[in-house]
Amino acid sequence: MLGMRTAELRPLTYDIDTDFRRSLLESIALFRGIGPEVLSDLLPQCARVDVREGDVLLSPQRPNRCVYVVLSGRLSVHLGALDTPRIADLGPGTCAGEMSLIEDKAPSAFVVAAEDSHLMVIRQHLLWQMADRSHVFCKNLLMVLSERVRSDHEFIASSLGVLRQAERNAQTDALTGLGNRHWMQVMFEREVTRARQNSQALCLMMIDVDNFKTFNDQYGHVAGDRVLAAVGDTLREFLRPTDLIARFGGDEFSILLPDVTLDQAREAAERLLARVAAISPPNLNSAITISVGIARLEAEEEVADLVQRADSALYDAKERGRNRIAVGAS
């Protein structure tokens, strides 16, 4: 976008017909409810200007001494840079520049002509004279400021919602809806710290779908994805609300079991094997089984060591024939 060209400022003139004056004032939020005679000597001191699409009216890079009232056309508001998506549109009857003028600071955003527009320009000294002249004008100005603040709050809330959703997406496995490896690694640190602070047991299961590569080769990746999703659903339904589950990568899942002993973890794993074996994916004639490696958090053990021991136990379970459980050495 181009910077604002040198525009011709002309005195604000309107038909002397009182009804027309009243109609013009009522269409502008700042002047609503003010009789035409109240500001009759001040309004002609305002200016009017025609701006072209792309002209920059307000910029954080320069001070502002005017309020721009849209008589026709449309302005757009951009945060940070001119090429960012617009965050608001300003149509006829609305204004721009009032906040920076009152604060006597540079604007917080760019305001650009989104199309050829016709504007009223109220300079700073005239704005204060209007405020001195009419309490209705002051009320309208407060309403404009209030709406601006509310709009900013709504934009911030919406932006935070987008950021939170993006954060959730970054920590969620798209196929299964479970947490992903990054999320689980954060949970590892949190749960290990909590277990030590509360002197509680903590066990980790590493789970692998047996012969999954062969299954993928035989039935295809779409069928393989259905199996992984079904296993993920089964694990989610089986576990307690306090247990933490993630798709660790590929066909591997991990489960953190807070406040669970090694014997309790083994019993849970045995029930889990049976539950997964009962999965019957449609149009598939292959049984689904899993292998499970379990490790218990030891005193002063690092998270990486706990994962390594559970992973080694999983490897041992698969080496011993799959569809079974192995416990990592302490």
pLDDT computed for residue 163 by the predictor: 61
Same domain, 272 and 223: yes
Average pLDDT of the chain?
85
Domain's final residue, options 165, 198, 230: 165
* Among 277, 291, 276, CA closest to 327: 291
Which of 31-35, 107-111, 265-269 shows the lowest per-residue confidence on average (mean pLDDT)? 31-35
> Which of 104, 130, 165 lies at the terminal end of a domain, its last residue?
165
Query: What's the pTM value of the predicted model, to 2 decimals?
Result: 0.55
pLDDT of 13 > 70? The answer is: no
Angle at Cα 99 formed by Cα 94 and Cα 102, nearest 5°?
120
Whether 205 and 127 map to the same domain: the answer is no
123: CATH: 2.60.120.10
Same domain (yes/no): 262, 131: no
Q: How many domains does the chain have?
A: 2
**Confidence band for 125, pLDDT divided at 50, 70 and 90:** very high
Instruction: Return the pLDDT at 1.
Output: 38
Do 137 and 202 sit in the same domain of this protein?
A: no
Q: Are 193 and 150 contained in the same domain?
A: no
pLDDT tens track for 242-299: 999 999 889 999 999 999 999 999 999 999 999 998 887 766 667 889 999 999 999 8
Place of tokens 């009032």: 98
Instruction: For residue 240, give the CATH number of its domain.
Output: 3.30.70.270
172 occurs within a structural domain:
no
Asked whether residue 173 is assigned to any structural domain, the reply reads no
210 and 317 in a common domain: yes
User: Which residues span the domain enclosing 216?
Assistant: 181-327
Query: Does the pLDDT at position 115 exceed 90?
Result: yes
Final residue of a structural domain among 136, 165, 194: 165
Q: Has residue 170 been placed in a domain? A: no
Same-domain check for residues 191 and 154: no
Looking at the structure, tell me whether residues 303 and 260 fall in a common domain.
yes
Shared domain check, 322 and 188 = yes
Residue 246 lies in a domain: yes
Q: Which residue has the higher pLDDT, 110 or 12?
A: 110
SS (H, E, C) the chain: CCCCCCCCCEECCCCCCHHHHHHHHHCCHHHCCCCCCCCCCCHHHCEEEEECCCCEEECCCCCCCEEEEEEECCEEEECCCCCCCCCEEECCCCEECHHHHHHCCCCCCEEEECCCEEEEEEEHHHHHHHHHHCHHHHHHHHHHHHHHHHHHHHHHHHHHHHHHHHHHHHCECCCCCCECHHHHHHHHHHHHHHHHHCCCCEEEEEEEECCHHHHHHHHCHHHHHHHHHHHHHHHHHHCCCCCEEEEEECCEEEEEEECCCHHHHHHHHHHHHHHHHCCCCCCCCCCCCEEEEEEECCCCCCHHHHHHHHHHHHHHHHHCCCCCEEECCC
| Mean pLDDT value across residues 51-55 | 91
- pLDDT, one tens digit per residue, over 143-196 is 988 887 777 667 666 666 666 666 666 778 889 999 898 888 888 888 888 888
Would you say residue 218 lies in a domain?
Answer: yes
Top pLDDT among 167 and 86 is at 86
Residues 145 and 255 in one domain: no
pLDDT tens across 15-27, in order? Answer: 434 554 566 678 8
Question: What residues form DSSP beta bridges with 11?
Answer: 47
Give the model's pLDDT for residue 153. Answer: 65
